[in-house]
Amino acid sequence: MGVPITYNVRNLIERKGTTLMTAVGIGLTVAVLVTALALTAGLKSVFAGSGDPRQVLVLRKGVNAELTSTVSNDSYQIIRRLPGIAVAASGEPMVSPEGLTVVNLPSVDSPEGMNVTVRGLLPIGLSMRTLTIEQGKTFEPGMRQVIVGNSVARRYPDARIGKHVRFGRGSWEVVGVFRVGDSAANSEIWVDLNQLRGDFEQEGGSSSLLVRTEGDEAAARLKKAISDDQRLGSGVIGEKEYYAGMTSSGAPLEALGFFVAAVMSVGSAFAATNTMYAAVVRRAGEIGTLRALGFGRWTILRSFMLESICLALIGGVLGVLIALPVNGLTTGVGSFVTFSEVAFKFRVGPDAVLWGLLFAVVIGALGGFLPAWSASKKGIVAAMRDL
């Protein structure tokens, strides 16, 4: 039979001060880990919410980013006549030539400036996205107007409605704020492709083509048709797949978070050991009594281990509570694929909470082992004499 867990809980409550100080220490460690996990989860959800499974992206062969890609007008004309491409209500094939560039604007996080993607599209491109205009209106073809994603509007003071953004051959008026679900598009600025081409002397070419296919089978055939045609010099990647590849942008921050949590956990485990040793020393008499009552060594070991884990779990819960306010906070990281920023919200999900609690249990178990071991090794007579 084991020592009842209420005995451990009561002991922890009895030494409120020490328990709380140790638990908060563990809590802060857990909070760092949970925050790092929330960052990755938030970034992942942005990229998971980007792209349409029916759509593929045509880039120049060997190029893996829209920004460095070019597709000629001739290739565009050939590709839009290939079979397997969905047709819009207007009867037009759903092939959207898009031009990309990057502008550097001061953001709330980096006043010295951060890069934002500018995407030029035609009406067909707009129709291929689930676009909602949150404020203002959309740009008019032929006008030097832009619409900005809602993250851009929030994070870049110079890109709000009524302001002018300078790039290409002059300035562009911000006329609207848009949103495309919870996707990376919300971190972009959109303009009329023909206007953008005029500014960058692209004469009909574009950076990429976004193509909606009739289905998986049609997509596979289209992929083969485009890759095999030497004239095109193009490659095809699924739009979903393209965005999934960008999740690594958060890797440096995530690594920093994990590293810090790991080192802090060592410190917290030592602190737990200290607290538990003090508990063992103070309760030497009790341990002796328990042994005299017939509780075995293993039971004592288990009891103190449990107490340590309970202590750490209090810390774990505190840690999750400390980390909870970051849930929903918006921040941004740069991607070297798009060479610009993508904004996302921290997401403290069930996964992050569970990992945080598990981390606390591990800290408690590691920190409690030596004291529990020494408690279980105490001789009955020696322990009782300590009274």
Partner 1 sequence: MIRLGPLILRNVLRNRRRTVLTLASTAVSLALLALLTALYQGFFFSEPDSPSEARRLICRHRVSLTQPLPASHLQRIKAVPGVDEVSAWSWFQGVYKEPKDFFARFAVDSDVIFDIRKDWQIPADQLRDFKRQRTACAIGEKIARDYGIKVGDRVVIVGDIYPVTLELTTVGIFTHPVNAECLVFHREYLSELLPAGSSQRDSVGTYMILASTPQEVPRISRAVDAMFENSPYPTRTESEKEFGRSFLAFLGNIKLFLAAICGAVTFTILLVSANTVAMAVRERTREMAILRTLGYTPSEILQLVVGESVVISVVGGLAGLGIGTLLAKALQAGAGAFGFTAIKWQAAVIVLGMAALIGLLAALAPAMIASRKNVVESLRFTG
Q: Please tell me the distance from the alpha carbon of residue 216 to that of residue 84, in angstroms, as a whole number.
A: 10
Structure tokens at 318: 């505190």
Between the alpha carbon of residue 348 and those of residues 68, 243, 324, the distances in Å are: 35, 22, 7
Q: Please tell me the distance from the alpha carbon of residue 201 to that of residue 257, in angstroms, as a whole number.
A: 44
Q: Please tell me the distance from the alpha carbon of residue 298 to that of residue 293, in angstroms, as a whole number.
A: 14
Query: How many residues bind partner 1, per CB under 8 A?
Result: 62
Q: Among residues 103, 152, 313, 360, which is the contact residue for partner 1, using CB under 8 A?
A: 103
Q: Among residues 87, 133, 256, 321, which is the contact residue for partner 1, using CB under 8 A?
A: 256
Q: Is 148 exposed, middle or buried (0-12, 13-18, 19+ CB in 10 A)?
A: buried
Q: Among residues 9, 24, 317, 365, which is the contact residue for partner 1, using CB under 8 A?
A: 24
Q: Among residues 53, 113, 204, 215, which is the contact residue for partner 1, using CB under 8 A?
A: 113
Residue 385: CB atoms within 10 A of its CB come to 11
Q: Is residue 373 near partner 1 by the rule CB under 8 A? A: no
Give least dist CB 101 to partner 1, A.
6
Stretch that binds partner 1, among 50-58, 98-106, 140-148, 302-310 (CB under 8 A): 98-106
Taking CA 60 as the corner, what is the angle to CA 54 and CA 61, rounded to the nearest 5 degrees? 95
Stretch that binds partner 1, among 107-115, 304-312, 356-364, 376-384 (CB under 8 A): 107-115
How would DSSP label each residue in 260-275?
Answer: HHHHHHHHHHHHHHHH
Q: Is residue 289 near partner 1 by the rule CB under 8 A? A: no
Q: Which of residues 47-76 bind partner 1 (CB under 8 A)?
A: 60, 62-65, 67-70
- Residue where the block lists tokens 């002991």: 11
Query: Between residues 137 and 164, which has the closer beta carbon with respect to partner 1?
Result: 164
Q: Is residue 333 near partner 1 by the rule CB under 8 A? A: yes
Q: Among residues 93, 136, 288, 332, which is the contact residue for partner 1, using CB under 8 A?
A: 332
Beta-bridge partners for 117:
102, 188
Q: Is residue 166 near partner 1 by the rule CB under 8 A? A: yes
Q: Which of 379, 375, 377, 383 is nearest to 279 (CA)?
A: 375
Q: Is residue 98 near partner 1 by the rule CB under 8 A? A: no
Q: Is residue 77 near partner 1 by the rule CB under 8 A? A: no
The answer to whether the beta carbons of residues 98 and 338 sit under 8 Å apart is no
Which parts of this chain interact with partner 1 (CB under 8 A)?
17-18, 21-22, 24-25, 28-29, 31-32, 60, 62-65, 67-70, 101-104, 107, 109-110, 112-115, 166-169, 201, 250, 252-253, 256-257, 260, 263-264, 266-268, 270-271, 273-275, 277-278, 282, 331-336, 339, 341
